Structures are given as structure tokens and as C-alpha cells.
Chains A and B, each alone.
Chain A
Amino acid sequence: MVYFILKRLVQSVFVMLAVAFLAFSLFRFVGDPITQMTGVETSVADQERLREELGLNDPFILQFGRFTADMLQGDFGFSYRTRQPVAEMIATRIPATLELGVVALLISLLVGIPAGVYTALRPRGIPTQAILLTTLVGVSIPTFVIGIMLIFIFGVQLGWLPTFGRGGTVQIGGWESSLFTIEGWRALLLPAITLGVYQLTLTMRLVRAEMMEVMRSDYIRFAMARGVPMRRLHYKHALANTMVPVITIIGLQFGGVIAFSIVTESVFQWPGMGLLFLESIRFVDIPVMGVYLVVIAFFFVLVNLIVDLLYVAIDPRLRVRDVQ
């Protein structure tokens, strides 16, 4: 167990280093930060001086070494654009993105799992076909179109929900949360649905497929032959056994959630890391982009570690050794 976790940790560090390297090589090509940092009237000589000051003329390897060394010491540098410490900028944006991602994930699970179970148990019903078709259309519309549509329907036409931002937030320690006010939840709803639709469909289809598979397994047929109550059969026996692949996919899809959270945050002006990242691209804010990538890699690695631990929690075969 300990060995297993240590092994995963070593792999995680490797993944993060590789992402840092890729992130860093990205810097060189996105554009020229200097022209974005200075006004139109700044002379070429002044620009060149600034470039030298920021070490942008140094060899690539030297820059990468400096970036990694600073990062390992906990120094994430300063933003070219706002001159603020990057660590602080990212840190203040993390809660927004995490809350959005987690709520979207919850929506996708809370709707996707029951829908998946339902469509698996009644594969030929009309509601099942309707659900399948709706979700299929749902994943076939680009996320940004869904977001804008939701804004115009619920924000502008009906006026029920806010169109942008996080609404009311509450500061808890270093965490700015929108989960404790009604306004916050109202603001969270549309972006979370937008982000969750894709995951929802994915979860539903996966649960459905796995459930249908499990329902044919010997132990379900045996439980059926023993007259175990149907509800217990479906939820305790069958659903629990579908969870391992579902959890795997959730772990793997984390990258997708992050990618689409960039889109969602941009559409809803949601002040999370993705929005910050998009702004940083526009201004070629290299330190912010680099740290963002590394932070994303960190979360990815973390989520996958949690997934591994969840396996152990769910499946006793990984937990208990043979007693014989």
C-alpha cells in the first residue's frame, strides 16, 4: 500500500517536471511579452533594455533552469502584466475554478449516474431513447454556444440568473467561496451546467454501459436467483460494481474539465484560473502561463492519486490480502 502510493508519487513528480518543461518551452513561442508590456511610444532601445532585465535574451536552458530552481524554492515569480506575485494571483483564482469544476462534476454525477442506471435498466423505454438523444445533441453543440445560449435564455430573456461573475462570495481563510450565499449559487448554476453537460453525458453513457454489463454478470444473476430485493440489487450490488471504471474515467477526464473550464470561464467571465490563463496568453504573461500549467498538472496528478485511493476504498480485493 505504502509502496504503491510512493510509486505513484514518484511517477507524479516525473509527470509534473515534464509538464513544467513543456510549459517552459511554450513560453518562447507564444509571442513577445515586451511589446505587450509597453506602450506605443516606448522606444525600441527601452524595450531592448527591459528584455535584457527580464533575462529573455538568455539561452533557453538557462531560463528553464532558473524557472525550475525558483519554483522548487517556492518562488513563482512575478507577472509581466500586473507585476503581482504569480503565486498570489493563481492562489486567489484557484477557489473559483475548483468550485466551478467540482460543482459541474457533482451535477454530472448526480444527474448522470441515476440517468445511466435508469437507461440501463429500461433500455427499450421511450424515456430512455429521449434521454439518450438529448444528451447526444447536448455533447454535439460546442460548449461556448451552450454557454451563450444559457446566458441569453436565463439571464437576459427570463432574467432569472446572473449573466456573469461569481455573485456574492464569502471569504473563509484564504478561500473565497461562492457556496455560502444564494447569490453565489445563482451565479454558479449556469457555468456549472455548461461545464457539466459534457461530463454528464460521458458519465451517463459509461454508467449505462457498465451497468448493462454488470447486470449480466454471474453474481447479479445469483443475487437475483436468491431473491435479493430489486432496489438493493440495482444500487448496492450492481451500481457499486460499476464505480471502478466510472472513477477511472472521471480521473482521466479531469484534463477535459480543465480545458473546457477555460471556455466556460471565458464565456461567463468567471474569475478562475482559466480566465486568468486566457488573459495571460493575450498579454504573453509568461510566468503566469507557466505556473498555471504546472498547477494544472499538479491537480491532475492529485486527482489521479485520489482516484487510486478510491479504488482501494471501493474494492476490497486491493485492500485485504488473502488470509489463507
Chain B
Amino acid sequence: MLTIKDLSVKFPSRFGDFTAIEDVDMTIKPGEIHGLVGESGAGKSTVGAAVIGLLSSPGYIANGELSLGNTNLRTLTPDQAHDIRGDRISMIFQDPQTSLNPLMTIEDQLIETIQAHSDVSYADALKRAVDLLEEIGIKDAARRIKAYPHQFSGGMRQRVVIALAICTDPELIIADEPTTALDVAVQSQVLDLIRRLAKDRQIAFMLITHDIGVIAQIADRVTVMRKGRVMETGETAQVLGAPEHPYTRALMDAVPPLDHRIKRFRVPDEDGKGPVTGNAAEKWLLEGQQHALTGLTLTDICMRFRGPRTSLWRKPEPFVALNDVSLEVRPGSILGLVGESGSGKSTLAKAITGLITPSSGIMKLGDDILPDGKARGRKHPSRQLIQMVFQDPYSSLNSRHRIRDILTEPLWFYGFVPDAREREKLAAAMLELVGMQPDAIDKYPHQFSGGQRQRIAVARALLARPRFLICDEPTSALDVSIQAEILNLLKDLQAMFGLTILFISHNLAVVRQMADDTAVLRNGRIEEIGSTDSVFERPSADYTQNLLALTPVLPKAWQSTAVAG
């Protein structure tokens, strides 16, 4: 059906051609869900774009064969290629928020697609569209079809996107990270839908994803890619269960298991190498440990935002982001805070750091009450004691400052080290402590990869000599192997310095690996809180049970034999 042979795609650039993918071979049969997995830069999306003929300019197919059934996709004229798109090959994009035209109704978008490929009347097209929406799980479709995209929730929108992709009965759908932007529950529904469509309609899917759990759950066959080349391909059970290629094995090692805790991830380059010890930065940090371990207690934190004003006479409805949140982070422990998007995790972090002012409730750091947001002076000690590692290492470091400036700023600002040369030395030592070369200090953030930047961000937090560290989704922007490295680093540092950490994540498996205690947040309320083992193994709240059940996991047998915890 879809046959790819020796496919190479090149991007001409001013320094010669850049080869995005090279010698890729792949076949997908009707009704088959073919997983295409790899980390960022692997070239998996390029494969999809090459197949559908939408390589972003100036990329071009350098050589190889591409055919769909009997059609040679490489010899098509632009017009022919455009006709095939939608008709025989369709595509689903990652983010349902951005893949629908916000100015057109669902009806307009569906019908224009149907009419573009088959000569049907408006009424027939409409009927087909409504039936399709019903089939895909949108209730009351005849009415809802008149709506605009923004009137649908994320999951529903992704259903609409799928409906648009299949409304012309294509033979092949390229699904590029179709569930990455979705919450666990919705992800599960969408994956079910894909599975059903493949089975019932015999549509072939090329499922591009970085999430091995998803592949394990629904892919019939899988191709593992790295740096534009295919590493391994075959039946899913075979490739993931008994990986032959070392890369596949390393990838599997880096996947955090949900059902048990491992001590450290096995990371290829780092085998047998523990954290750097005995350097100046470590000594300096340990010196600063005169204080006892410090915990954090939150009591009845509420956070209400003013809603949008809709009428002159009515008061706007407040939007409740946090509702009576109480929790305790025990001194020297890690509390995992899990929740889906919009559950209020980040709001809570902002309230603790003083970026926003809670509507009510008491926060205590150790035995001292933390003043709320605006009441917290710029010189308040908590500004130094509480530090944060942010989600996006690309935006958490000021791209116009050198690493030197970024790292020495806390030393200078909090008045720890008066001498500029000393500060720089300490910053360099700290870089070493987090596993980087000290000469990185002269560079700018954009000269580093995401994982390296996150290490720098950790170093910056440590240079403030914090007692309490908030990690807000510290690995969700990173590839799984990098995630493993960072998680290892955090574990090591916590062990060394006895930091108290609030670890926020939407990824249950990561929390399982990191947290001593776990709190589950949903719509601004704590659903469940307790020791991590008890929450994961004996969840009491229905919500927690549901979450755990829906999270895609690797079958036990495939799981790596990494050091068990």
C-alpha cells in the first residue's frame, strides 16, 4: 500500500545541503497502524510531510521511492498531488487548538473538504458530515456542526480534526503527534477512535509520536528513527519487547515505569558515573545548610480570578482556580503534584513563589508564615529560600544574557559573594556539579540543547542556596532520554543536599519515580494525597483510579530491567 524506499530528504542551506532523512524504508498496509517513533530531530515528521507532499520550503526529496498503491507519489504534478491530498492521503496535526480555521464553522470546513473531492450536492455533503460527526462521537451533530472551532473543547476539536481527515475516505492518514497536546483521558478516547477507524474502515495510519507508551498501546508495527535514519522496524511486540538496536534499548530504558519505582535511570553515556562530588560548589552549598530542613505547609488556599465582564449590570462570575487546597511538603522530601492541564498546578506554584496573591489561605515555609504575593517584600528571605525550575528551558533563561550573567546573578543579588571573580568561579563549579563543562560560562543559552539548558536552570536555582525547590514540569519539554538524565540529576542533588522539593507534573510515571508523597489535583481541588506508593497502588479517589487506568503503559514484559528501587 504505502511503500517508502530509500527515501532521502534534503534541505539546501547556505552551508550546503542538510540531510533531514536518509535511506528510509517503510511499508504500511491498509488497516495497519504504523508507529513512527523517535526523539526530536529524528526526522519522523519529515517522513510524513514527504509522503503527503507538504515538505516545508526549501526541502526536497533527494531520492527514493514513494508510492501509494499503484500511484508513484514522486512523479505527480503539483495539481495532481493536491488532488490526492485529502482524497487518498490525509493528515492529523498535533494541536487541535491551531489546526482548525478559527473564522469558519465546522460545517464550512467539512463541506468544502467533501466537495473538493467528490461531486456531491451541499445537502448530501451536509448529511455525510453530520453522520460522520455522530460516528466519531459528537452528539447532537446536526446542531453542533454550525459551531465555530473555539466552541469545542480540546478533545472534541481533535475529533473534528479527525472527522475532517476521514470525511473523504482516504486510504492513508498521517497522524503527527495526534494526542500529545491532550490530557490522558482524552488521549485514550482518541486512540480508541483511531484504532476503530483502522479496523472498521481499513484506513492505514502512520502514527508519528515520541511517546513509546502510545505506540505500545495501539501500533501494529513500529519504526524507530534517530537522526534521520531508521534504527529498527518490525512488529511492535518484537521491536519494543526484544529491541535489537542499542538505541531502541536505551530508549526503552529511559521510559519511566508507572507501576514501580526505580532508583536511577540507566543512561548510556553516564553508566557507572555518579554525580560529581567534592567540588567547590558542593562545599559552598553544604556550608549554607546551617538551617534545618524546611518544609512547606499550605492551608485552605483559594484562588479566584475575576472572570470576563459580559454585562454592564451583572458582576462577572469569578473563575475559581484553586479551591481550599491544603497540603504539606515534609522537610527534606519530594511532594509530587499531579493533575491535568487546567487543574491549577501552576497557579499553586505561582502563589507559593509570590507571583500571584491567593484570595485566602495560609502558607507557611518552615515555621514562618509566607506573606501573600504583593505583601511579600522584594527583600523577604523566602525570595532566596524558595527557588524554581521551570518547564520550558528555552524561555526560562534570558537569551540575551551569557551563562555567566545568568548564573552569577543570584550570587550577586542575594549578596552571597561580593567578589566578582569568586562569583564566576563558583558558577563554573556549579556547572560542573550539574554535569556541564565549566567553559560553558562564556556562551549564550541558544548554544545549548534543551537538556543542557535545563541543567543550567537547575544550577541557577541552586546558586540561590534554596531550601525549597519547586520543579514545575521540569522535563515535559524534553525528550525521554534527556528526561531520564534530568530526573537522575534531581534525584542526586536531592540526596546530596536534602532539598525539599515540590515536583509538579502531568506525567504520572515521572511523579512515581520522583515523589515521596503525591497529591492529585483536579479543577483546583486536591482529590487525593498520600504517600506515593499508596496513591499509585491503592488509589482511593475514582479520578486517580481512572487516570492510572488510562495512562498508556508498556507491558510488564517489555519494561527495562533497570535498577529497581
Residues of chain A having any CB pair with chain B under 8 Å: 2-3, 6, 216-230, 232, 236-237, 240-241, 314-317, 320-324
Contacts and interface: CB of A to CB of B under 8 A. Distances in A.
B260 interface: no
Contacts of A321: 310
A146 to B, nearest CB: 36
Given A218-B93, A320-B151, A322-B150, A226 B103 contact: no
Interface in B74-122: 82-87, 89-91, 93-95, 98-105, 109, 112-113, 116-117
B83 A222 contact: no
Given A3-B310, A225-B86, A219 B100 contact: yes
Nearest to A2: B312
Interface stretch (B25-33, B161-169, B205-213, B505-513): B161-169
Given A223-B101, A236-B104, A314-B103, 19 more contacts: A2-B312, A3-B309, A3-B310, A217-B98, A218-B95, A218-B98, A218-B99, A219-B101, A224-B85, A225-B54, A225-B91, A226-B165, A227-B84, A227-B168, A241-B101, A241-B102, A317-B102, A320-B150, A320-B151
B479 to A, nearest CB: 22
B153 interface: yes
B147 interface: yes
Nearest to B98: A218
Nearest to A315: B103
A222 B157 CA distance: 13
15 contacts: A2-B311, A6-B312, A219-B99, A219-B101, A221-B54, A225-B52, A225-B54, A225-B90, A225-B174, A227-B85, A227-B87, A227-B168, A232-B112, A317-B150, A321-B310
A263 to B, nearest CB: 37
Most buried by B among A222, A228, A321: A222
Contact of A3 (B56, B90, B174, B311): B311
B78 to A, nearest CB: 9
Nearest to B311: A3
B151 A227 contact: no
Contacts of A324: 151-153
B148 interface: yes
Contact of B91 (A222, A232, A320, A322): A222
A225 B117 CA distance: 12
A226 B168 CA distance: 9
B101 A226 contact: no
Contacts of B103: 240-241, 314-316
A275 B161 CA distance: 57
Nearest to A243: B103
A228 B86 contact: yes
A218 B91 CA distance: 11
A314 B104 CA distance: 10
A315 B102 contact: yes
Interface string B29-62: 0000000000000000000000010101000000
A182 B345 CA distance: 68
Contacts of B89: 225
B116 A228 contact: yes
Do most interface residues of chain A lie in helix, strand or loop, or is the interface mixed? helix
Nearest to B94: A218
A225 B85 contact: yes
Most buried by B among A6, A228, A317, A322: A228
A316 B312 CA distance: 21
B86 A221 contact: no
Contacts of A316: 102-103, 105, 148, 150
A220 B84 CA distance: 17
Interface in B229-282: none
Contacts of A225: 52, 54, 85-86, 89-91, 165, 174
A240 B101 CA distance: 10
Contacts of A221: 54, 93, 99
Contacts of A317: 102, 148, 150
Interface string B438-469: 00000000000000000000000000000000
A222 B164 contact: yes
Contacts of A222: 91, 93, 99-100, 161, 164
Most buried by B among A220, A225, A316, A323: A225
Contacts of A224: 54, 82, 85
A227 B168 CA distance: 10
Nearest to A316: B148
A227 B84 CA distance: 7
A224 B148 CA distance: 19
A214 to B, nearest CB: 10
Contacts of B165: 225-226
A225 B91 CA distance: 6
Nearest to A222: B99
Nearest to A232: B112
* The 9 A-B residue pairs with the shortest CB-CB distance in the complex, in nearest-first order: A227-B86, A225-B91, A226-B86, A227-B85, A218-B98, A316-B148, A218-B99, A222-B99, A219-B101
Contacts of B109: 223
A74 B151 CA distance: 47
B54 A227 contact: no
A225 B116 CA distance: 12
A70 to B, nearest CB: 32
Most buried by B among A216, A218, A229: A218
A221 B92 CA distance: 10
Nearest to A323: B151
Interface string B304-322: 0000011110000000000
A3 B161 contact: no
Contacts of B87: 227
A228 B152 CA distance: 22
Contact of B312 (A3, A218, A236): A3
Nearest to B312: A3
Interface in B103-158: 103-105, 109, 112-113, 116-117, 147-148, 150-153
Contacts of B91: 222, 225-226
A221 B56 CA distance: 10
A237 B102 CA distance: 9
Contacts of A3: 309-312
B113 A237 contact: no
A230 B103 CA distance: 18
Interface in B307-363: 309-312
Nearest to A238: B101
A219 B116 contact: no
A146 B556 CA distance: 78
Contacts of B161: 222
B140 to A, nearest CB: 10
B121 to A, nearest CB: 17
Contacts of B117: 227
Nearest to A1: B310
A269 B94 CA distance: 59
A10 to B, nearest CB: 11
